[in-house]
């Protein structure tokens, strides 16, 4: 089984030193969220993830969730762990105190999401969609529905799901067939089938609150006719108590490559009682509140799995002997593999990406809170545009690089990495879903280039580039070699953005073919931007903690020397166009 130590020191460094968003620091509701409080939370989070949840990863992989006589049973130990998990209040961490939550910002809850992803992605998924459902209900439902359902979801006694996909539609939700028929009492009867529903059924909670998109009988075809409904597994009585079973049944559980402890279900809705959330035919707008935040969390999953893969690779490289280096330190036998240049390069690649991603995610967490809570509408909108721009980047880049890092981790472990004994191959299998669900990474890339760079609020990408250009114009002589190199790649991103903008008007196939390359160029430059912010603090406060900051500076140097150049490679590949791709004849 892999070992894991939560990177609390690095997380606290970000919270204490990179909490530099002026608009975020103006939010009154978080004035009392001090470093001491956050440190206490993260240390407790580390304990429950390392001691209670980490062992569940192997258990869930070897004893997957099963469907027995219509009942979904989670792996051994899950029910006991979940009971402790909700008793300690972890489901309520980022929720509104009005409904029993602790009211912590995303700048704190994102760290917990990362830890939980490292410890056991399967276990995490049972509560993750509950927070997504909470956010959607809280933003779009009536006060009656909020008061009736949110306290139990926040407490963790009830869980939530997101029911979009059907056998006939995945990304193209306009093809859905699930129907909603209005009743005299204002409720609806929901009928249809949903597939690939994460935590669609299980035995951890008293009730499961499904958020289901469906089409009213008189609504138009396509995405314009989709509404959103709250459909509980058990009907809830007027007094809040659990009533009879609703018309929902589990058809099957998917047999999957990874995340086997998570029950991914086929759900059948047979005239199940549901209640509309938000306005008729505006269901996708409401659902995307849940999906957009969830996509960021999926990116964090990739980061969390990468972190545990790196930790175990580093530990293994320090104890495994194989071959001799050019500067061997052994007088008899072999050197530890960490002395080999290629292994060191792989480890530094992992480390520089992971720490840069964590810093970028912390920047995005601040922007998210500003977009939701700032008093100034213009400030909120600008932050919202930046979050919208970076959501597909974080979702896709972090998960794609998670595949690279878990693959490298297997390689470092050699034959032991390929066997189940070390648990490294499970990290690869568990992470493989992250580039797929919540919108495949290619869909994210298309969404980025066709919808997010420019919108009704203007030229968002250049506003972002202007922001980071201003924030990386620093005087410190020690940082100038980094900022000079950064400017070179920022100019490439600018040229690439202009190319995309022009090609959108003349040849959309070129844009489609370049979408993934563009996303990665934007991603690698954005991670470099986060590293510049880290370097600024590292040079300024160097004498406070020399060893820590030396590590940061040297890790950043590797990123700028060995990783950031990928941005230019993607640019050069993309601007070759799509003519060969589209004219090629496949036999």
User: Among all residues, which ones are annotated catalytic?
Assistant: 438
Q: Transcribe 447-497 into DSSP letters.
A: HIIIIISEETTEEHHHHHHHHHHHHT----GGGHHHHHHHHHHHHHHHHHH
Which secondary structure element, helix H or strand E, spans residue 198, and what is its range? strand 188-198
Query: In sequence order, what are the residues at sequence separation of 6 or more whose Cβ sits closer than 8 angstroms to the Cβ of residue 224?
Result: 281
Burial class (CB in 10 A: 0-12, 13-18, 19+), 314: middle
Residue 336, strand partner residues = 321
CB atoms within 10 A of CB 540: 15
Check if the beta carbon of residue 233 is closer than 8 Å to that of residue 248.
yes
**Contacting residues for 342 by C-beta, under 8 A, at least 6 apart:** none
* Token pair belonging to 306: 């990468």
| CA–CA gap between residue 46 and residue 451 (Å, rounded) | 38
Classified as helix, coil or strand, 165 is coil
Helix 54-62 and helix 106-119, axial crossing angle in degrees, nearest 10:
50
Asked whether the beta carbons of 233 and 190 are under 8 A apart, the reply is no
Q: Positive or negative CA dihedral for 276, 280, 286, 288?
A: positive
Does residue 290 sit in helix, strand or coil?
Answer: helix
Q: How many residues does the chain have?
A: 587
- Beta bridge pairs of residue 248: 269
Looking at the DSSP bridge assignments, the partners of residue 273 are 189
């Amino acid at each position: 089984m892999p070992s894991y130590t939560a990177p609390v020191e690095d997380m606290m460094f970000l919270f204490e030193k990179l909490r530099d968003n002026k608009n975020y620091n103006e939010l009154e509701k978080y004035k009392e969220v001090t470093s001491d409080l956050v440190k206490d939370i993260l240390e407790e989070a580390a304990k429950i993830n390392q001691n209670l949840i980490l062992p569940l990863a192997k258990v869930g992989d070897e004893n997957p969730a099963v469907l027995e006589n219509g009942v979904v049973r989670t792996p051994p130990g899950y029910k006991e762990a979940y009971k402790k998990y909700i008793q300690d209040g972890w489901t309520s961490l980022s929720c509104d105190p009005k409904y029993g939550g602790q009211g912590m910002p995303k700048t704190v809850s994102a760290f917990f999401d990362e830890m939980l992803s490292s410890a056991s992605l399967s276990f995490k998924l049972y509560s993750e969609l509950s927070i997504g459902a909470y956010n959607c209900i809280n933003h779009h439902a009536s006060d009656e529905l909020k008061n009736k359902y949110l306290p139990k979801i926040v407490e963790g006694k009830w869980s939530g799901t997101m029911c979009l996909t059907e056998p006939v539609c995945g990304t193209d939700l306009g093809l859905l067939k699930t129907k909603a028929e209005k009743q005299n009492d204002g409720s609806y009867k929901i009928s249809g089938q949903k597939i690939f529903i994460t935590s669609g059924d299980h035995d951890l909670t008293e009730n499961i609150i499904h958020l289901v998109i469906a089409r009213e009988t008189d609504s138009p075809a396509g995405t314009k006719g989709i509404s959103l409904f709250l459909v509980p597994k058990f009907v809830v009585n007027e007094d809040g108590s659990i009533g009879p079973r609703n018309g929902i049944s589990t058809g099957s559980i998917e047999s999957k490559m990874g995340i086997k402890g998570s029950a991914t279900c086929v759900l059948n809705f047979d005239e199940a009682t549901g209640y509309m959330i938000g306005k008729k035919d505006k269901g996708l707008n409401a659902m995307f509140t849940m999906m957009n935040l969830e996509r960021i969390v999926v990116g964090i999953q990739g980061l969390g799995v990468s972190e545990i893969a790196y930790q175990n690779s580093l530990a293994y490289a320090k104890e495994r002997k194989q071959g001799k280096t050019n500067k061997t330190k052994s007088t008899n036998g072999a050197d530890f593999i960490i002395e080999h240049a290629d292994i060191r390069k792989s480890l530094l690649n992992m480390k520089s990406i992971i720490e840069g991603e964590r810093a970028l995610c912390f920047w995005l967490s601040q922007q998210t809170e500003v977009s939701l809570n700032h008093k100034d509408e213009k400030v909120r909108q600008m932050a919202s545009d930046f979050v919208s721009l970076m959501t597909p980047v974080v979702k896709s880049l972090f998960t794609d690089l998670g595949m690279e890092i878990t693959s490298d981790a297997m390689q470092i472990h050699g034959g032991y990495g390929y066997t189940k004994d070390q648990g490294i191959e499970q990290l690869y299998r568990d992470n493989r879903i992250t580039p797929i669900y919540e919108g495949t990474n290619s869909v994210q890339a298309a969404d980025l280039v066709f919808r997010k760079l420019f919108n009704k609020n203007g030229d968002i990408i250049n506003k972002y580039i202007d922001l980071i250009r201003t924030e990386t114009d620093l005087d410190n002589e020690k940082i100038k070699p980094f900022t000079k190199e950064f400017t070179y790649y920022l100019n490439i991103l600018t040229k690439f953005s202009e190319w995309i903008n022009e090609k959108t008007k003349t040849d959309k196939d070129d844009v489609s073919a370049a979408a993934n390359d563009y996303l990665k160029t934007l991603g690698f430059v954005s991670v470099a931007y986060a590293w510049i912010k880290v370097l600024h603090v590292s040079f300024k406060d160097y004498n406070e903690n020399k060893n820590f900051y030396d590590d940061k500076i040297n890790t950043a140097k590797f990123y700028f020397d060995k990783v950031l150049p990928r941005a230019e490679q993607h640019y050069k590949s993309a601007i070759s166009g799509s003519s060969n791709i589209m004219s090629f004849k496949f036999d």
